[in-house]
A and B are shown apart, each in its own frame.
Chain A
């Protein structure tokens, strides 16, 4: 059994605030809103709190849409569980997520991430308007607006990695930094 002290140490040396592993849903997102406002960004102004919370919301809603479980193609118990890590790294607040996705979706996601990463603020706004104009009225998202929103809030490149697990799944890691003002 893992020693709690080791976890404590892990949090301390990495300046972590929270790790959550499991299923993501709206109730969790709402709980994180309360924690973000009251705890993680203590002493920061409202605008910064909203920014952090906004990035977390988009990350989690992206996971809801893209993680393997929601494709409904596999009943493996590991599928669909995702991890959220909040911490600080020097002058940045860092939001990291990890979740399984189907290998077939890796290329599409990589392309979107690269495209958003290579855009400056003006291009991001143009992309955002383009997506909005072309979006279906009944769309529930998943159009790439979330990543653009994250990039606008973060103002830094998104770090990502895909670790192939087997012939069907990869583990997708996304790391977003937001400068602490």
Chain B
């Protein structure tokens, strides 16, 4: 399947969705003007991936900032990964937060409570 690479801008994150190299990562800042439009290809890519996934999936979030409108699409990404868990696949989310960024870490913990996908937490070194 095709790789989805989105270069970062001031208000949108860098996105790497690469099945061949088993890399799935969203990093940077997210407060796009049109949240639906931005996340729609990402969600579509994951839908396709779920049909024929790798044996191991590690979805990485290295976010520095995201606005409240980004909560729902991020949750939707996690709901989709949950479907992989239900299919018996080996799936995890790795959530990075900068040292001292309690809010970012807690946001990750909050998401972890809302889905069955296991989360791993790491410090983001800039």
Contact = CB atoms under 8 A, between A and B. Distances in A.
Given A50-B64, A125-B110, A140-B35, A152 B72 contact: no
Chain A interface size range? 20 to 34
B68 interface: yes
B20 interface: no
Contact of B68 (A30, A50, A141): A141
Given A29-B11, A47-B98, A50-B64, A152 B103 contact: yes
B114 interface: yes
B77 to A, nearest CB: 12
B69 A145 contact: yes
Contacts of A66: none
Nearest to B32: A26
A88 interface: no
B114 A140 contact: no
B71 A145 contact: yes
Contacts of A128: 71, 110
Interface stretch (A14-22, A108-116, A131-139): A131-139
Nearest to B75: A132
B64 to A, nearest CB: 7
B100 interface: yes
Chain B interface size range? 20 to 34
B103 A135 contact: no
B31 A57 contact: yes
Interface in B30-62: 31, 33-36
B36 to A, nearest CB: 7
Contact of B69 (A33, A45, A138, A140): A140
Given A45-B100, A153-B103, A135 B72 contact: yes
Contacts of A57: 31, 67
A29 B71 CA distance: 19
Nearest to B109: A125
A74 to B, nearest CB: 24
Contacts of B11: 26, 29-30, 33
A169 interface: no
In the complex, the 10 A-B pairs of residues with the closest C-beta atoms, listed nearest first? A145-B68, A26-B33, A149-B68, A141-B69, A146-B68, A50-B65, A47-B101, A30-B10, A57-B67, A135-B72
28 contacts: A26-B11, A26-B33, A30-B10, A30-B11, A33-B11, A45-B100, A46-B101, A47-B98, A47-B100, A50-B65, A51-B103, A53-B65, A54-B67, A57-B31, A58-B67, A61-B69, A129-B114, A132-B71, A132-B75, A132-B114, A135-B72, A137-B76, A140-B34, A140-B36, A140-B69, A141-B68, A149-B67, A153-B103
